[in-house]
Chains A and B, each alone.
Chain A
């Protein structure tokens, strides 16, 4: 049983560009949450997707958007990249509307130059 997978592992982009990160949830899970972990910080909640809709959103600008597909996989898109978007992006999956337990992927390391 595969756990949560994320791609790519590492990514280098230039300021102003756009990036798409991908996440496949653990088998049987239908909810995907995205987090940003900047250097020296704990993971910060970006948003959560359930039934292909954004259910909750943290304090992130509209440059951060997402999508969930019918197979429950998800994408995180970031437009107009800033240097400050450099971080580790974590995806977590869970089941149902009440998140009792999350399983995390290994993350995508994004570097913006």
Chain B
């Protein structure tokens, strides 16, 4: 069983603040790193899939970076809005094609 860790477990920020979370994963047998956004009572929604060391992806105010050599990825949210409130999950896939999820970071943006 591969260990994927996310920190912090939860986060409360004021509207307009920028924030970031960390996902740590094994650096061996790396294939891809996935970020998902999961709002309560909805389906997890894919944000990014990253495969190359040094990858940076951006979607609106949300961006992510990847370091496969040291086994971490950062997710950044610039100018947080209340609608960004959700749980952010990362998942690691190895060459074996199986998804290993972290426990998520729960973000609450206070208006």
A positions within 8 Å CB-CB of B: 3-4, 33, 35, 40-45, 48, 56, 58-59, 90, 97-107
Instruction: Tell me, rounded to whole Å, the shortest Cβ–Cβ distance linking B34 to chain A.
Output: 8
Considering the complex, give the chain B residue whose CB is closest to the CB of A97: B97
Instruction: Kindly identify, within residues 3 to 53 of chain B, every residue whose CB is under 8 Å from any CB belonging to chain A.
Output: 4, 6, 32, 34, 36, 41-46, 49
Contact A100 B99 (CB under 8 A): no
Contact A90 B99 (CB under 8 A): no
Known A-B contacts: A41-B103, A97-B97. Give 19 more (CB < 8 A). Answer: A3-B43, A4-B43, A33-B99, A35-B99, A42-B101, A42-B103, A43-B89, A43-B99, A45-B98, A56-B96, A99-B93, A101-B34, A101-B46, A102-B34, A104-B44, A104-B45, A105-B43, A106-B41, A106-B42
Considering the complex, give the chain B residue whose CB is closest to the CB of A98: B97
Number of interface residues of B (CB under 8 A): 25
| In the A-B complex, the 6 residue pairs with the closest CB atoms | A42-B101, A104-B44, A42-B103, A104-B43, A43-B101, A106-B43
